[in-house]
Amino acid sequence: MATTLYGIPNCDTVKKARAWLAGEGVEHAFHDFKKAGVPPDHLDRWMQSAGWEKLLNRQGTTWRKLDPAVQAGARDAAGARSLMLAQPSVIKRPVVEWPDGAVTVGFDPAGWALRARR
């Protein structure tokens, strides 16, 4: 399994993460949520690994622009999953699937350095 970074290309954090991976010589694939959507089976794996609460970005612009009724629908794992599939921009970025099967959410250079050395 190769390293795959999931996100949106114009996201500043995703840009930093991609630059970090390239700078560290970590070969990786990039999966653009905007163009390719979120693979439901991968989302299920991420939710199981990281938790839906960590994946659902309630701090971002997309979340703040949502109707309060839509936000309220994401109060549990099933509702959050539906929202993340419909509105991938509400997923905290980047999500990285590492060769060892681990999943990380967000950009963490120190933690990533440990993974990249494996």
Q: Which residues are catalytic?
A: 11
In DSSP terms, 3 is beta-bridged to 28
CA atoms of 48 and 20, how far apart (whole Å): 26
